[in-house]
Amino acid sequence: MSETRFSLDDDSVAVVIGSGAGGGTLSNQLASQGINVVCLEAGRRLTPTDIVNDEAAMFPKITWLDEVIGEGDARPDFPIWVCKTVGGTTMHWTAAAPRLQAHELRARSTYGAIEGTSLADWPIELKELEPYYARAEALMGVTGTNGIPMLPGSNNFKVLEAGGRKIGYKDIDTNTMAINPVPRDGRGGCLQLGFCTSGCATQAKWCTLYTEIRDAEKTAHFELRPESMATRILHEGDRVTAVQYMDVEGKLREQKARFVCVAANAPGTARLLLNSKSERFPEGLANSSGQVGRNYMRHMLAAVVAIMPGEVHLYKGPQVAGVIRDETRHDPKRGFSGGFQMHIVGLSPGSLADLMLQGKWGREFTDVLGQYKNFASVMIMGEDMPTAENRITLHPERKDQYGMPVPVVRYVNHPNNRVMLQYGRDVCRRLYQSLGATQLFDLYDVFPATHNMGTARMGEDPTLSVTNPWGQTHDIPNLFVSDGSLFPTVGCENPTITIVSLVLRQAEYIQQQMQRGSI
Amino acid sequence: MPGLTRRQVLSLTGRLLSLGTISSVFASKIVWAQTNDAAIDVRHLAMLIHDLYPHDEMGDPFYTKLAQLVKPRLEGSEGAYAEFVAQLDARTGGVWQSLDPSKRSEILADLADQPFFAKLRDTVRQVVYVQPEVWALIGYGGNALAQGGYINRGFNDIDWLEETR
Ligand SMILES: Cc1cc2nc3c(=O)[nH]c(=O)nc-3n(C[C@H](O)[C@H](O)[C@H](O)COP(=O)(O)OP(=O)(O)OC[C@H]3O[C@@H](n4cnc5c(N)ncnc54)[C@H](O)[C@@H]3O)c2cc1C
Ligand code: SF4
């Protein structure tokens, strides 16, 4: 922890809201360039010894449990799965770090108009992102890049690989993962614990708590304020001036700011902008386009669990280190647009008991769970379509403990998802059957959204997007969005390395703008 | 994944269970709120738990332990529980407890679409599959860090794949 402190009325500081993938990375980038940063983080700061191999103990320590309401196909009680802790959801994440593909950044041009969607092309091409992806891979220590070896394959991976090859797939490996196979960056190597979603005790997994925040704190330009919940961003004319937040003691404070970057994870970012409405911006801050909160995307997410003829012990090893990429292409012949990844997923008996056999009991239940050692499991993660009606809004009456309106997440599957799901499920079944699987189970519509994107999309046209291609809001030049809210579309890759790449690019842009005196 | 641990937290924070069971929780509050005085008999509960999640290798002491863990989670639902037990007895002339397990399950299945059954089934499941005894039985390793990780403990020791080629 660092000693650096800034005063509330210091209006030369940058205020970053959120300390996860976006906020943690941006804070470090700015601070290491000598820009003073105050980072407001709603959650607590954990110490390394708080991280234990116990799902039940870790869940309440790190998960966002304040009320969020789901509607449509979103789980009503738990629509989104995000963290409330220093490090944000990089505490929970499983660290798969694949790049988006060129055609996915041109979804509207590639897929054409699809009914019911608000598909758009990204305002930047893959070429422009590539150098930042390369930097992000070095920063996060991604396997298979920068001389970092691939992770060794676990049993669950070997089953996926063998079955995949049998049914004709070729692009299969242990995935580009932000997990140290061997010690690096002052952090340990992976011990194949399999508790990635409970926080990584060896710190082999990239998490901003002990990477970006750690490094920012080595500069004299960074102050982290945990347990500080931003409730409103204040503005005068078309400039933001301060952020109002509730501190550890429950007192409302105002931190003045030269500029503000919001990285509260897509639903949180939309919520904060909507709640910062004013006379000038009656529909929410920086929302003259009406797009804040809209085009909310997650991914098409399902899993298949197979009972194999021999032991697998799918819980051993990093939970998602293994992927088949053959279906990530766009190929309308399959009957849907966009593609999907197939990656392994290791799940505990507790989770599977809840997710896999809903409504079952008695022998019917125990005969299946009793074969847990023989389970193999794969996840299907596909491109999701943006629609105007999938969106984050504020509940008209319900307030949380900070006095902030409770967010409502409305999400309905686009028909494209259903066709893709059927196709993906069938190939996964064939894959395991080719190795003699005796029973197969589908898990869909059971997962809360782990990837949340699109709620403040970037673009060239201020009437159709919230920010410009650098995440600077069209309406307010000293207000930035610094997380997955920016994604116009999501491809079928896990989002975090793209968030980090966009933020690295944004940090350069901010410096240029400061040098020019425009912010 | 969220399932179990999430729900534990939900019930801790008083928001209770998920999806299909939400309505049943409300229903149980309304119907049984007044008859809240009966205590839950641990031996009886242990039997119910066994029938819901029968693992033959686990003995009575284990199911008694589970019943002790489940009981506090049924706080506030004692009335509903008593009513449920009364129905089991009504269907068996008061001898449900002394029937053999397969017969007991049949009777239980008759009541499976009752709201309280769903609550019981879910509450119990959230306890059963986080017990080290069950983990050992079904082959889950649990706390890996305490064992130095699986890096030298079989994360890649699969030996039957060759035969499938
Ligand atoms: C189980 C799981 C597995 C995942 N696996 C992968 C994976 O393998 N690969 C991948 O790419 N992605 C994965 N993800 C997603 C990944 O975690 C997110 O994409 C990433 O963390 C998003 O970064 P972010 O900065 O937008 O938000 P976060 O990392 O969530 O950080 C946002 C922070 O903002 C704080 N905050 C919110 N509102 C406020 C407020 N008003 N004031 C102050 N602070 C606030 C929150 O407490 C939080 O700490 C996974 C997610 C989950 C849940
Ligand atoms: S499997 Fe590796 S990355 Fe995952 S928690 Fe364990 S040590 Fe960390």
CA distance B112 to chain A (A): 10
The rounded Å distance from CA A498 to ligand 1 centre is 13
Which is it for strands A37-40 and A222-225: parallel, antiparallel or unpaired? Answer: parallel
Take residue A36 and report the two structure tokens written for it. Answer: 């003073």
Q: Do B137 and A370 touch (CB under 8 A)?
A: yes
CB nearest to A195's CB, from B54, B138, B144: B144
In A340-469, where do the E strands start and end?
A: 340-344, 375-382, 391-399, 405-411, 439-444
Please give the Cα distance from A426 to A517 (Å, whole number): 57
B125: which chain A residues are within 8 Å (Cβ-Cβ)? 353-354, 361
> Which residues in chain B are closer than 8 Å to A159, comparing Cβ atoms?
158, 161
Within 8 A by CB and 6+ apart from B158, the residues are: A155, A158, A159, A310, A311, A312
How many H helices and E strands in chain A? 11, 17
From the CA of A44, which ligand is nearest? 1
Q: DSSP string of A232-293?
A: EEEEETTEEEEEEEE-TTS-EEEEE-SEEEE-S-HHHHHHHHHHT--SS-TTSTT-TTS-TT
Q: Which of residues 43-102 of B touch A (CB under 8 A)?
A: 51-55
Ligand 2 centroid, distance to A162 Cα (angstroms): 24
CA distance A173 to chain B (A): 14
Q: How far is the CA of A485 from the centre of ligand 1 (A)?
A: 11
Burial of A64-94, coded b for 16+ CB within 10 Å and e otherwise, reads bbeebbbeeebbebbbbbbbbbbbbbbbbbb
Cβ-defined contact of B140 to A315 (cutoff 8 Å): yes
CB atoms within 10 A of CB A130: 13
The reply to whether residue B55 touches residue A201, judged by beta carbons under 8 angstroms, is: no
Least CB–CB distance from A192: residue in B10, B128, B149: B149
**Which residue does chain B place closest to A315, by CA atoms?**
B140
Strand, helix or coil for residue A103: helix
Cβ contacts (< 8 Å) between A355 and chain B: which residues? 1, 3
Could you tell me the distance, in angstroms and rounded to a whole number, from the CA of residue A60 to the centre of ligand 2?
20
- Ligand 1 shell residues, CB under 6 Å: A 17-23, 40-43, 81-85, 88-90, 92-96, 197, 229-230, 263-265, 268, 272, 320, 450-451, 483-484, 494-496, 499
Which pLDDT tens digits describe chain A residue by residue (519 residues)? 789 999 999 999 999 999 999 999 999 999 999 999 999 999 999 998 999 999 999 999 999 999 999 999 999 989 999 999 999 999 999 999 999 999 999 999 999 999 999 999 999 999 999 999 999 999 999 999 999 999 999 999 999 999 999 999 999 999 999 999 999 999 999 999 999 999 999 999 999 999 999 999 999 999 999 999 999 999 999 999 999 999 999 999 999 999 999 999 999 999 999 999 999 999 999 999 999 999 999 999 999 999 999 999 999 999 999 999 999 999 999 999 999 999 999 999 999 999 999 899 999 999 999 999 999 999 999 999 999 999 999 999 999 999 999 999 999 999 999 999 999 999 999 999 999 999 999 999 889 999 999 999 999 999 999 999 999 999 999 999 999 999 999 999 999 999 999 999 999 999 999 999 999
Q: Inspect the interface and report whether the beta carbons of B2 and A78 lie closer than 8 Å.
A: yes
Structural tokens at position A176 = 């580009």
User: Which domains does chain A possess?
Assistant: 14-516 (3.50.50.60)
In this predicted complex, what is the ipTM?
A: 0.89
Does A155 contact B156 at a Cβ distance shorter than 8 Å?
Answer: yes
Nearest CA to ligand 2 atom 2: A190
- Which residue's C-alpha comes closest to atom 33 of ligand 1? A18
pTM of the model: 0.94
Q: Is B146's CB within 8 Å of A152's CB?
A: no
Specify the residue with its C-alpha closest to ligand 1, atom 48.
A88
Is A351 a pocket residue for ligand 2 (Cβ < 6 Å)?
no
